[in-house]
Amino acid sequence: MAGIYIHIPFCKQACYYCDFHFSTSLKKKDELVNALIKEIELRKNELENQTIETIYFGGGTPSLLSNNKLELIIHSVYKHYIVANKPEITLEANPDDLSKKRIIELSKTSINRLSIGIQSFFDEDLKLMNRAHSANEAKNCLKIATDYFDNISVDLIYGIPGLSNKRWVENIERVLSYKIPHISSYALTVEPKTALENFIKKGLIKNVDDHVAEEQFHILIEKLGASDFVHYELSNFGKPNYFSRNNSAYWQGKTYLGIGPSAHSFNGNQRGWNVRNNSKYIKSLEQNILPMETETLSTADKYNEYVMTGLRTIWGVSLNKIEKDFGNQYKKYLLQQSQKHINEQLLYLDNDKLLVTKKGKFLSDGIASDLFKINLS
């Protein structure tokens, strides 16, 4: 059981909040695709015959690649790896790339899941974030996409300066009206060195208000819960059988290969990451060299990652798993560290599972770090 993530580092324009790796220069698209295929081939032995269950095109904006190119990449995965019978193959796509024609063509490829970056159905929000599409494009593309794809995920952003609770509810209800089975919804985050940070510093955009973000988070949980969505990860909601299999693998510590510039890989013990630069990535692979750095995780690192990701999910942190994988000492430590938060009703124990309460959800990073094991040096 393993997944492959393929990073497509191109965008038409830069969203003001984004700190992922991408380039708005599309000149090297062909070379990059060649390099991706080369990397897929060079790493064919890494998975040691594990079956590929999911393939995920993320970005950047993967929908900028033609269907042909996407098929070419998928083909190379099939050629060098064992792929499961019905793999989940996801394409992240932006509404402005999803014309009716394109959607129909895509539906004929092996891609069977779309993750569409809607973010909002209001032009003022989209402009404020410098998204490439309009509100109308967003609505049209969903209308069509649902006719051709069953498995669709939509991204929504809340906590945008100026986004009222009323408009937020309208955004959620509009997504629900399309009968979309999966929603990823993120609190707008001001990342360092982004345009958004700069505008806020200069006073051009009002700062994100944590209080409003928290309210909108709870509105989201309530609305989606009422429509039978399962809140299975902090920012992810799915109907049963529609959880993202690819992303769930990250939170369950499963093996994944990350292909492309800046992509991360993990095999249970080691994490690797590719160079975060398109030209360097391409050059290196032209010389058959993997542009990757790796780190080996210590026991404490693995424990910390499990706690950190576990607390974000519906699966929580399993005490049995902690004991089995890390030993009784770790289990004791975890219980001892949790007590304060259990008392404050931020965490609770459900049989074997340690979970975050509703009140604790929006504070779960701080809680996780309290449960961390570190050596003071």
Partner 1 sequence: MQNLFYRDILMKNIRNFCIIAHIDHGKSTLADRLLDFTGSVTDREKQDQLLDNMDLERERGITIKSHAIQMDYEYQGEKYVLNLIDTPGHVDFSYEVSRSIAACEGALLIVDAAQSIQAQTISNLYLALENDLEIIPILNKVDLPSANPEEVTDDIVDLLGCKPDEVIHASGKTGFGVDNILAAIIERIPAPKGNPNAPLQALIFDSVYNTFRGIETYFRVFDGEIKKGQHIKFVATKKDYYADEVGTLKLTQVAKQSVKAGDVGYLITGIKTAKEVKVGDTITDFANPTTNVVEGFEDVKPMVFAGIYPVDTEDYEELRNSMEKLQLNDASLVFQAESSAALGFGFRCGFLGMLHMEIIQERLEREFDMTVITTVPNVSYLAYTNKYPDTPITVNNPSDLPEPSTLNRVEEPYIKATIITKADFIGNVMSLCIEKRGIITNQTYLTPERVELAFEMPLAEIVFDFYDRLKTVSKGYASFDYHPIGMKTSKLVRLDILLNAQPVDALSALIHADNAQNIGRKMCEKLKELIPRQQFDIPIQAAVGAKIISRETIKALRKDVTAKCYGGDISRKRKLLEKQKKGKKRMRQVGNVEIPQQAFMAVLKLND
- Binding residues for partner 1, per CB under 8 A? 5, 20, 58, 186-189, 210-211, 213-214, 233-235, 247, 250-251, 256, 258, 262-266, 271, 273, 295, 301, 304-305, 308-309, 312, 344, 346, 361-366, 368-370, 372, 374, 376
Q: Which two tokens stand for residue 74?
A: 């998928």
- Cβ nearer to partner 1, comparing 103 with 368: 368
Q: How far is the CB of 246 from partner 1 (least distance, A)?
A: 9
Q: How far is the CB of 313 from partner 1 (least distance, A)?
A: 10
**Residue 63: CA atoms inside 13 Å, Cβ hemisphere, count?**
21
- Cβ nearer to partner 1, comparing 295 with 352: 295
Between strands 317-318 and 353-356, the pairing is: antiparallel
- Cβ nearer to partner 1, comparing 143 with 340: 340
Q: How far is the CB of 129 from partner 1 (least distance, A)?
A: 14
Q: How far is the CB of 247 from partner 1 (least distance, A)?
A: 6
Order of strands, edge to edge, in the sheet holding 264-266?
A: 230-233, 236-238, 182-187, 151-158, 113-119, 82-93, 51-59, 2-8, 255-259, 264-266, 270-274, 292-296
At residue 35, the 3 state secondary structure works out as helix
Amino acid 10 reads F
Q: How far is the CB of 113 from partner 1 (least distance, A)?
A: 15
- Cβ nearer to partner 1, comparing 105 with 370: 370
Q: How far is the CB of 156 from partner 1 (least distance, A)?
A: 11
Identify the bridge partners of residue 6 per DSSP, sorted by sequence position.
Answer: 57, 259
- Cβ nearer to partner 1, comparing 41 with 214: 214
- Cβ nearer to partner 1, comparing 348 with 372: 372
Phi, psi for 73 (deg, rounded to 5): -70, -45
- Name the strand (E) or helix (H) holding 264: strand 264-266
